Structure 1
Amino acid sequence: MKDKKILWAGLGILLFVFILKGFKSPEKKILEYLKDKYKEEFVIELMGKRNSEVRAEVLPKKYVGTIRQYDSYYSSTVFLPPYGEIGDNYGAVLLKESANEYFRPKLEELFGKNILPVLTLEGGYDFPDFKKEMEKRQIKFRERPDGVFSPLSGGIYIFGRVESEEDREHYRKQIYEFIQYLKAENMFDYINITLTITDERLLSKEYNDGEDFKKVRDMKSGFERYPFINNIMPKYSEDFNRTSQEYKDNLLNSKIKSNLFEEISKRGIFLLHTRIRGDKYIKSRKLDEDDRINAKVKLYENIDEVEFSYEDYKLK
């Protein structure tokens, strides 16, 4: 009898050990799921429960300690329900980066290397690859021409030089050419993006290491800041030409993409600014009927339809 009790106790201990080995914490399930799906290591930054579903804000481990760790443009969530399959939206981050890289060659051709596309393809997605996802959506566009589709939105930031009306007209032409490119790619109809030109000399190493940068950072008013930047930039022209492209690229890549418009508003200057809305985007949302927005339907069949809402290069 005693031997049987010892035997059953031993079996119970073994069973308990097997159960423990088979049990995985939510953290472990999430991290194993992400590594298996995306073939890279992730970290969990925040985790909680909502209606019995575990939700975790996650970040690729390679971004820890970089500016991207603090940029919501790269934020993603994993959903772990009490029953059913685990899911995530990290693919949306990959989709945004894929869109940025898709347009980069054309943008560099038109505007030079000092650009920063910050694009978002809104709505649900099937593919984290921009080209594949757009091909799928374009089929829907053809099948339902009156549908309300999620647009390609966000901004394109161009670091250049605008010092005269000739410079302004140059950028009007280049933006017009970009719109024609979007049309040729069948990506114009449901687009809603802004293009902002700011001074390229803000990427000068001497400027970023000097006292003028600190003065600009502390200025509260755009009416004070814009003339100041316009007036001091000429003295950084030579240093901008000396500054390596590697330095400029690193500076561009250090920008918080989710807050770039606000950063330029507070620390930079809008030399030129325009918004491009596709005609179907406007009509499907009836933005042309909304007095608060008063969006004009433009087909951009001539260059004069490219209009700038800001022309602050004139604020000398």
Structure 2
Amino acid sequence: MKKYLLSTIPVAFLAVVPAKVDAAIFFDNVEQIRTMAPTGTDFNSGLVREYKQLTIFEADEMYDWIDAENHATKGVMAANGQTPMPSDPAEWAIEDPAKLQELELGRSSMMALFNKGARTVAPLEAAHAQAKYDCWVEQQEEGHQPMHIAACKGEFESALAGLRTAMEPKKVEATPKETEMDVVSVVEEVARETVYFPFDQAVIEPTEQAKLDKFVAEMKNIQPVVTLYIEGHADTSGPADYNLALSASRADSVRTELMRQGMTIGDYEQLQVEPEGERNPAVATGDGVRERLNRRVIVVARGQVTKSKKVSVTTQ
């Protein structure tokens, strides 16, 4: 929660923010981004999608309306053609000098890539890195959820590494006598959504159902979607074999709901629905720990994208 935002919210209202309240009168950008489809340049569209996901999690799962509004404001800016900058950790109430320096170094590394054209060369990777950095700054300022801090930091570092890879010069092949441009269709990721589940259940809650409904609506706006890949997860509370079966049930619940709404799902026999059980947690914990962020199903949409590709032609 940024320092300047704290000064704009009435103290009496802050006292009840953690409860389920109608906060739309104070946090209008949160409500606006809920129904907003990604739009604008590839980078801005990616920011809208990333900040929307952060906003909904902070508002609906953590009841942190101030940070939700901060994320939503950036998403709305991106949708309106503006380019929000990554958070400046110096403007946040981060008391540990070592943590502040670590954040500043991370931002400096990311901005160096942005200044080399990352927003244009690798727009989706750049948007992902910026959102995960802002997640890290926010969690570090709060300071009371070490696992959430570690998760956001780890996701940022992974996103930054992916951005560096995407920015690396492509290998130059031997120069042919002629080259020509060919238009090809490739299949790549176009969107993803995460659905969280209650402890020891595979039932989709109303807030998560609303997320799925909006996800389906967005997919119908960016057709054609070739297939959806569904990956189920569980936390470490309970036996591993039980959690594997529970993660499969959660994935199947989401699969059934998406099929009900007319979405094309990858062939179950070809393992497009993946039960992961306790493997690959969003937040690393010890055994026997309940963690909502790990009780999740990830839906990845992959679609056909038309691109121009150089085709080498050697003349005789």
Q: TM-score, normalised by structure 2?
A: 0.29
Greater RCO between the two (CA within 8 Å, min separation 6)? 2
Q: TM-score, normalised by structure 1?
A: 0.29
User: Which protein has the larger Cα radius of gyration, Structure 1 or Structure 2?
Assistant: 1
